């Protein structure tokens, strides 16, 4: 497995592989079974598999959220190797956002609802880095998890609006035995906080907006940012909660989750 730190290296490494199909799995590291399912799908469907590993500062509002984001490059590279990744692109922030950087991609409407209300600028950061990764890797297929349903919808819109030649592949949410959707942020939860977080998948499993709102409103240890039905493709019941934490400096771990209401049961 090749590890590239610069855009020039990625382009040079991929040049001989352009006659076959290239799959890209964009990640921010702290890999879990959800990422591994994306890597497995990419491995099965593409000749060359590229994984990006970049904690994108542009999609974090507060410095402390960026600082507390889990990082473990050694573990991530080992997991990528085991999953059969051919190339990992792990750039520095300066490589992706060189001095004087000022070009942004904004999916205006989809980026400003739901999570966009609570995390202004988040989807601008996501769309910008994903478009830049697409341009660097030029994948035939790109793999994302249904867990981030709004992110998927933003990227789908960007691909359509900018006529990008990349196939969007969306894989089902992977859950732990207690129902919690796998997320890199779960490792920030203590055992009691994790119990409180369990209310989120339980509420969404009702697949009923009012029941989910009622269940979350009476749950201990968390604040609800939103519970909404979103008219995405497919439509989802989506929610975001902040699980109160006594250990983290900013006092909570923010979790998002959704269930598909109709169509493909991802």
Please tell me whether residue 129 binds ligand PAF under the rule CB under 6 A: yes
Among the residue ranges 26-34, 42-50, 205-213, 255-263, the one whose residues contact ligand PAF (CB under 6 A): 26-34
What's the order of all strands across the beta sheet hosting 167-171?
A: 2-4, 87-89, 48-53, 22-27, 141-145, 167-171
Burial (CB < 10 A; 0-12, 13-18, 19+), residue 167, is: middle
**Which is nearer to ligand PAF, 67 or 217 (by Cβ)?**
67
* Contact assessment for residue 139 and residue 108, using Cβ atoms and an 8 Å cutoff: no
* Contact assessment for residue 199 and residue 213, using Cβ atoms and an 8 Å cutoff: no
* Contact map string, positions 32 to 71, toward ligand PAF, x by CB under 6 A: ------------------------x--x------------
* Contact map string, positions 96 to 125, toward ligand PAF, x by CB under 6 A: ------------------------------
Please identify every residue annotated as catalytic: 35
Please tell me whether residue 27 binds ligand PAF under the rule CB under 6 A: yes
* Contact assessment for residue 140 and residue 249, using Cβ atoms and an 8 Å cutoff: no
Please tell me whether residue 130 binds ligand PAF under the rule CB under 6 A: yes
Measure CA 90 to chain center.
16
CB of 222 to ligand PAF, least distance (A): 22
SS (H, E, C) 124-146: HHHHHHHHHHHHHHCCCEEEEEH
Please tell me whether residue 239 binds ligand PAF under the rule CB under 6 A: no
**Which is nearer to ligand PAF, 149 or 212 (by Cβ)?**
149
Enter the tokens of residue 88.
Answer: 């990992």
Binding site for ligand PAF (CB under 6 A): 26-28, 56, 59, 126, 129-130, 148, 151
């Amino acid at each position: 497995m090749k590890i590239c730190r610069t855009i020039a290296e990625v382009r040079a490494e991929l040049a001989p592989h352009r006659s076959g199909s290239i799959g890209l799995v964009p990640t921010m590291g702290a890999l879990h079974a959800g990422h591994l399912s994306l890597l497995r799908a990419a491995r099965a469907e593409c000749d060359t598999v590229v994984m990006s590993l970049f904690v994108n500062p542009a999609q974090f509002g507060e410095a402390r959220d960026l600082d507390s984001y889990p990082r473990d490059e050694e573990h991530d590279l080992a997991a990528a190797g085991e999953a059969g990744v051919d190339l990992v692109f792990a750039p520095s922030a300066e490589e992706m956002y060189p001095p004087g950087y000022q070009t942004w991609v904004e999916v205006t409407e989809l980026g400003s609802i739901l999570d966009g209300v609570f995390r202004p600028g988040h989807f601008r950061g996501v769309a910008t880095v994903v478009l830049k990764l697409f341009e660097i890797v030029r994948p035939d297929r790109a793999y994302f998890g249904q867990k981030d349903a709004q992110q998927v919808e933003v990227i789908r819109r960007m691909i359509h609006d900018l006529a990008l030649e990349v196939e969007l592949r969306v894989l089902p949410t992977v859950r732990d035995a207690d129902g919690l959707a796998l997320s890199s942020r779960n490792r920030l939860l203590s055992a009691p906080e994790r119990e409180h977080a369990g209310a989120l998948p339980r509420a969404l499993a009702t697949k009923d907006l009012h029941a989910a709102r009622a269940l979350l409103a009476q749950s201990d240890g968390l604040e609800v940012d939103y519970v909404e039905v979103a008219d995405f493709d497919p439509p989802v019941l989506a929610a975001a909660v902040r699980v109160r934490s006594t250990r983290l400096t900013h006092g909570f771990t923010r979790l998002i989750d959704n269930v598909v209401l109709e169509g493909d049961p991802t």
